[in-house]
Amino acid sequence: MDPVTKKREYRDDYDDKTLYIPGPTEVPDDVIEAMTESTFGHRMDRMTDLYTTIVEDTKEFLGTDNEVVILTGSGTAFWEATTLNLVDEHVLVPTCGAFSERYANVAERLGKDVDRLEYEWGEAVKPEDVREAIETADVQYDMVAGVMNESSTGVRNPIEEIGDVLTEYPDTYFAVDAVSSLGGDYVDIDAHGIDAIFASTQKAFAMPPGLAVCVVSDDAYDREVEKGDSSWYGGFRRTIDYYDRKGQTHSTPAIPIMLAYRKQMKRMLEEGHRARDERHREMTEYVHDWAAEHFAMFPEEGYESQTVACIENTRGIDVAATIEAVNERYDMAFSNGYGDLGEETFRIGHMGEHTVESVTELTDAIEDVAGL
């Protein structure tokens, strides 16, 4: 096979762009600076101080009594791990966009028997449909794999209500991809039968990419133990037992990113989960009002994401050209629609440390460039 990719030398002179894409998002300067400590060993006491600090602070921030696993890798690692740890055979994946579809693809690739509960892009998953799918299936699902925030369509699925339905089916575990919303959209993890919920650090946590966080219930841990086989790298038992015994990770982690995590999680704790949720809600309201004035929101009404606005291009602007001009003139980056939605929609990531003020700077820039 001829290689398509040619080397393009990385330079030292890129302009900084303010990120309004659906992740990575802006990372505060002190968090970037926290990564410059000299390297230390992953079996030193210092590592135990660092890892136990970030794990326990995360539990406190999220208000959960469940276990927290923080691994080097991205959220994708937990698509695999949840499937391997919880599923023997059958899994139900409600699909309503690119990322839920990919969760299904991962489970298929791992040899699981996947049933999809399919929705049009832009629609949200309905709890009663999940119940019906479980009731009418001729197999028993080991897991329902949900996506809380479909970053491709800007849909926020009602995972709390879906979790409430699933509490009636104790042998069906509930895994939730909250990659692009956790930390920016409040969820009471312990109250809705969620067995595993995971996120990537580069999204609403406003940290650099490179770590994935998963909150694991006791039931999910027990299920993996009873099941026998599991993921090695992301096994709940292996990661949690290692934490209990040593306060460390089973293999060498990305220590600089964990240093950044420590710094940013302190900021998140200071703000609080509820206050962070409120700030994201204010941004959402602002963007919705702006979209209503100039365009329209793409998602089904009432299910709009609190971290990624997917806006329907009702005016037929040249999305790609607008993105490029905003990038060049204002050093700001936002995104086109995902896949086939390329020119039909555009997406604004308003997550992490963004505020109504910072988002307004972007919408002003779009107005200027697109002549709104």
Ligand X SMILES: Cc1ncc(COP(=O)(O)O)c(C=O)c1O
Please state the closest distance from residue 58 (CB atom) to ligand X, in A. Answer: 17
Binding mask 161-190 for ligand X (x = CB under 6 A): ----------------x-xx----------
Give min distance, CB of 34 to ligand X, in A: 20
- Tell which positions 186-215 bind ligand X, by CB under 6 A: 200
In contact, 155 and 123? CB cutoff 8 Å: yes
Is 105 among the residues that bind ligand X (CB under 6 A)? no
Q: Does 363 bind ligand X (CB under 6 A)?
A: no
**Residue 352 in contact with residue 25, Cβ under 8 Å?**
yes
Q: Per CB under 6 A, which region of 3-11, 143-151, 246-254, 263-271 contacts ligand X? A: 143-151
- Based on CB atoms, which residue is closest to ligand X, 27 or 369? 27
DSSP lists the bridge partners of residue 335 as 347
Q: Does 76 help bind ligand X (rule: CB under 6 A)?
A: yes
Q: To the nearest whole angstrom, how small is the minimum distance from the Cβ of residue 80 to ligand X?
A: 10
Tell the smallest beta-carbon distance from residue 97 to ligand X (Å).
8
- Across 341-352, b (16+ Cβ under 10 Å) vs e yields beebbbbbbbbb
In which residue are the tokens 């762009």 written? 17
Structure tokens at 222: 């027990």
In angstroms, give the least distance from the CB of 44 to ligand X.
28
DSSP state of 34: G
Residue closer to ligand X, measured from CB, 17 or 294: 17
Q: Which of 221, 164, 218 is nearest to 187 (CA)?
A: 164
Q: Is 151 in the site for ligand X (CB under 6 A)?
A: yes
What lies within 8 Å, CB to CB, of 68 at 6+ separation is: 55, 58, 59, 62, 213, 214, 215, 216
Q: Which of 20, 23, 153, 194 binds ligand X (CB under 6 A)?
A: 23
Number of residues that bind ligand X (CB under 6 A): 12
**Measured on CA atoms in the order 181, 167, 86, 62, is the torsion positive or negative?**
positive
Nearer to ligand X, 201 or 248 (CB): 201
CB 332 within 8 A of CB 364: no
**Nearest distance in Å: CB 270, ligand X:** 25
Q: Between 66 and 180, whose beta carbon lies closer to ligand X?
A: 180
Nearer to ligand X, 152 or 217 (CB): 152
- Let me know if 7 is exposed, middle or buried by CB neighbors in 10 A (0-12, 13-18, 19+): exposed
Instruction: State which of residues 51, 55, 58, 75 lies at the interface with ligand X (CB under 6 A).
Output: 75
Q: Which of 68, 147, 159, 319 binds ligand X (CB under 6 A)?
A: 147
d(CA 301, CA 124): 9
Q: Is the peptide bond before 158 cis (omega within 30 degrees of 0)?
A: no
Contact set with ligand X (CB under 6 A): 23, 74-76, 99, 147, 149, 151, 177, 179-180, 200
